[in-house]
Structure 1
Amino acid sequence: MSTENAQLATQDTDQKPGKDGVQRRTNVRWKLFILLLVLVAVNYIDRGSISVALPIIQKEFNLAPELVGLLLSAFFWTYALMQIPVGWLIDRFGPRKVVTASCVGWGAATAASGLAGGFLSMFIARLGIGVTEAGVMPAGGKLNAIWMHRKERGRGATILDAGAPLGAGLGGILITWLIASTGSWRMSFIIAGGATVLMGLAVWWYIRDNPRQHKGVNDAEASYIEESHAEEDAEAAREGAQGKRALLPYLKFRSFWAMCFGWLGFNGVFYGLLTWGPLYLAQAKGFDLKTIGWSTFVIFGAGFVGEILGGAIADKWRASGASANKVMRTLLGISSLVVVGGLVGVTIVPDPITAVVLLSAVLFFLRWVGLFWSIPSILGGRTNAGVLGGAMNFSGNIAGFVTPIVVGLIVGATGSYTWALLYFVGSAVVMGISVLALDYNKRLPV
């Protein structure tokens, strides 16, 4: 076998070592991203636990809709503000340290929220959860740039982000089960927080900042990843990208702002449904706590399936030779159209089962936008993937703290969820315009 053919065989096959000397490539990068999927799922179980327990908490604390909206937004205030600083920390010190500290910290804060005695102490606890959870998603975006071959990053991004709907769906089941089993929403929060701290130990044990540092990675896998990095670096050099660690130079590019506004519109829909969805099902559709749990599982479970499928479609289509712009604009454009249509349908149909079906379809296609977690590495390369991921997530989480407050004011003023759902429609339109405006083909020349 020629040297050239041997190299191709090493890159494109997973055969065990044989007479030809070809080494089977290990798959540590996929195992690492399965761990990140579980981590993000736990993240969203803890993050969304208050929404599932909210009918009980609202009654116990005697909260008006406006205060409910303020409480739901508390997490996002500090979560959003920490995104750019934590993105810089990830680029400076590596994702492993940041994501481990984040995991342990938010577990402790979640457990502390179970001790809240009223609105103020719960509000403070939610602020603490926002600070400590901030590092997870930007670190995942950085790890996608470090660990994944360029032709695998669509799946890497959606595996990472699919933890959000999976956690939201499982959270509905697990938190309602914990509340029923312990007889206390407080104990359910304490148990969930303790499990998260233990998760932090698994993160430190398995994640590494470089594939060569991981004992499970063989030379074939490391070389496969490094060859992709070398190709990207060569292309970036030809296009004038210098790889300087900075954020401000990106502000002059349309694609940077399209990334930010696309994620803002996406989160206007997703966080609206995550925070107010259970209360909407309880108050507008008459669901009890058990039915809320299962309905939440179905709706967000559909989002999980949709996200995994979207990433697989994107990578397979790219592998066939289609351009990044064609793949991303087509898939995300379709996603935006379906989300807008589905949300309009929810405002019209009175039947609760039909509403759950429509919301499931909305989440299935909405979560295709999880492909956005490949964009920080596309626009900024490995050097700035952390800070760009932080900037993107900061923009998205502006919607995170604005949306719960706006929905609370709308529901409090109108006594109805109709205009709140139309607010989600507007967010989806912003998302749709942005995903079509973004150039996915090249790194920005910074």
Structure 2
Amino acid sequence: MSLREENPDQASLADAPALVADESGAPSTRSAAKPTGVRWKLFILLLVLVTVNYVDRGSISVALPIIQKEFALSPELVGLLLSAFFWTYALMQVPVGWLIDRFGPRKVVTASCVGWGAATAASGMAGGFLSMFIARAAIGVTEAGVMPAGGKLNALWMHSKERGRGATILDAGAPLGAGVGGILITWLIAATGGWRMSFVIAGIATVALGALIWWYVRDNPRDHRAVNAAEAEYIEASHAAEDAEAAAAGSTSKRGLLPYLKFRSFWAMCFGWLGFNGVFYGLLTWGPLYLAQAKHFNLSSIGWSTFVIFGAGFVGEILGGTLADRLRARGHGANLVMRSLLGVSSLIVAGGLVGVTVVGDPLTAVALLSVVLFFLRWVGLFWAVPATLGGRTNAGVLGGAMNLSGNIAGFVTPIAVGLIVGATGGYTWALLYFVGSAIITGISVLTLDYSRRLPV
């Protein structure tokens, strides 16, 4: 899916088979074969990668009722510990975006896997608050490149009409990992007799995944041995149309971040992602403890409830991306599609969170949170926005800037919720904090212009 308004002539160019002159001088099709689907296989692998990413980063939340007792942590210290990951993760976003644009996503993602796997295993050996805080901060540093690299690969590998699905397949690993992690980590804790070995096993599996990423992922479709000429030409035709439009607008060169700061759409992208993550990271980090303390769930019930809630987010994200691409394929403009879908999702998220504050039944609360995650994850479409605003050349640095803003919410939210819970002794005002974040997202998604590249 392209998040710009396509010129009909350019759209037809993108869909047409590439032509060259034969020996007689007449044009002929370079490749009459059906395009291979390697780009979709690559994004399924990225879905697995992001799923493991969120299993690892969310593992502490699932084990938190045990860790809190073992380390004797107050709610304020719990909030600080949960924020450790996000401080370093946020600070690394713009630098790692530059590294992705400079060295390519394949190298950055592979290094991330090895580094965060080692840090996850090390967190299983923590002896107290300080060592766990350091390990979680190290996970933040090493995981920082995954999502911006995925955004860059979306720009490099996907046809403009497919980027909605590409973005949501990539980002759907977040709720899937949170949901699967809830069951997986609770099972590992039970199977190994404690939370420590479960973290070590998760870390080793992540390092192995890094080797698979290096073997399969390429920065250019033509460099992948399984990509046939027809698939490469299909992708390149879309890129050529985008580049022609960018050239006409004088926007083809590699830029730093500063030229984008003057545009409303850049800030709408950043604030939209900030509000989104204010809700998502709040539920990811504090959700299991909320279920344990406010709804009195045991560890097994927490695992299954987390799976249901975040599993609904996974389903919602995949359906949201498919719906967006289908609406674009029917000729609806990018602004109409994105503002309608994301505006409705923000409204439902805010209303669902208000509902959670007033219901007393635990199963009803889980059902409402499942609805919230289903619609919240439609905002995963935002991972197509960096390529829209900055093109393939600058998608890495813009993706890093977007993720930086989102992870400001990541380190602020756990601390804020800890202070709220410590001061009020309950979760009502914490849930209303999430409502405020959803409102920020709603305003931002209606402000952003999804139809054109920024003229820098």
Return the TM-score normalized by structure 2. Answer: 0.94
- The equivalent position to 1:241 in structure 2, one of 233, 251, 254, is 251
**Conserved 8 A contact 1:109-1:125:** yes
Which of the numbers 299, 311, 319 marks the counterpart of 1:309? Answer: 319
Alpha-carbon distance between aligned partners in 2 of 1:435 and 1:240, rounded to the nearest angstrom: 26
Contact residue 138 and residue 390 of structure 1 kept, 8 A: yes
3-state SS of 2:297 partner: coil
Secondary structure at 1:243 match in 2: coil
The equivalent of 2:89 in structure 1 is: 79
Matched, 1:35 2:45: yes
Aligned match of 1:300? 310
Cα shift at 1:22: 2.4
Measure the CA separation in 2 of the matches of 1:74 and 1:8: 47
* Displacement after TM superposition at 1:354 (Å): 0.4
- Is 1:375 matched with 2:375? no
1:151 aligns with 2:161: yes
CA contact (8 A) 2:13 2:237 kept: no
Q: Is the CA contact (8 Å cut-off) linking 2:31 and 2:230 kept in structure 1?
A: no
- Structure 2 residue 312 is the aligned partner of structure 1 residue 291: no
The runs of at least 4 consecutive aligned structure 1 residues that moved more than 2 Å come to: 5-11, 242-245
Which residues of 2 match residues 165-314 of structure 1 at below 5 A?
Answer: 165-314=175-324
**Offset of residue 238 of structure 1:** 1.8
| Corresponding residue number in structure 2 for 1:67 | 77
CA 1:383–1:6: 2 relative to 1, 3 Å:
closer
Partner Cα distance (1:117, 1:174) in 2: 23
Q: Distance in 1 between matches of 2:185 and 2:71?
A: 19
Q: Name the counterpart of 1:325.
A: 335
Amino acid at match of 2:107: K
Query: What's the CA shift string for 1:18-40, capped at 9, x where partnerless?
Result: xx982011000000000000000
- Contact map agreement 2:36 2:230 (CA 8 A) in 1: yes
Whether the 8 Å CA contact 1:95–1:142 is kept in 2: the answer is yes
1:433 corresponding residue in structure 2 = 443
> Structure 1 residues 383, 283: closer, same or farther in 2, change over 3 A?
same
Structure 1 equivalent of residue 61 of structure 2: 51
Q: Distance in 2 between matches of 1:202 and 1:243?
A: 33
When residues 6 and 362 of structure 1 are mapped into structure 2, their CA distance, relative to the original with a 3 A threshold, is closer
CA contact (8 A) 1:10 1:24 kept: no
Q: Distance in 2 between matches of 1:36 and 1:207?
A: 9
Q: What corresponds to 1:412 in structure 2?
A: 422
CA offsets 1:362-408 (integer angstroms, 9 cap, x no match): 00000000000000000000000000000000000000000000000
Q: 1:117 aligns with which of 119, 127, 135?
A: 127
Q: Contact conserved, 1:91 with 1:384, CA < 8 A, in 2?
A: yes
**1:237 deviation in Å?**
1.6
Task: Quote the Cα distance in structure 2 between the aligned partners of 1:429 and 1:25.
Answer: 42
Paired position in structure 1 for 2:24? none
Contact 1:6 1:22 in 2 (8 A): no
Partner Cα distance (2:352, 2:362) in 1: 14
Return the TM-score normalized by structure 1. Answer: 0.96
Between Structure 1 and Structure 2, how many residues are aligned? 434
Q: Deviations over 1:387-445 (max 9, x none)?
A: 00000000000000000000000000100000000000000000000000000000000
Long gaps (5+) in structure 2: 1-11, 19-29
Structure 1 stretches lacking a partner, 5+ long: 12-19
Give the counterpart letter for 1:408 in structure 2.
G
Describe the shift of the 1:387–1:21 C-alpha distance in structure 2 as closer, same or farther (beyond 3 A).
closer
Q: Is the 8 A contact 2:14 2:241 kept in 1?
A: no
Contact 1:9–1:22, Cα closer than 8 Å, also in 2: no
For residue 239 of structure 1, report the CA deviation from its aligned partner. Answer: 2.2
Given the alignment, which residue of 134, 148, 157 partners 2:144? 134
Aligned letter for 1:308? I
Q: Does the CA-based 8 Å contact 1:264-1:398 persist in structure 2? A: yes
Equivalent positions of 1:343-382 (< 5 A) are 343-382=353-392
Deviation at 1:242, TM superposition (A): 3.3
Please list the CA deviations of residues 44-64 of structure 1 after superposition, one character each: whole Å capped at 9, or x if unmatched. Answer: 000000000000000000000
CA contact (8 A) 1:242 1:445 kept: no
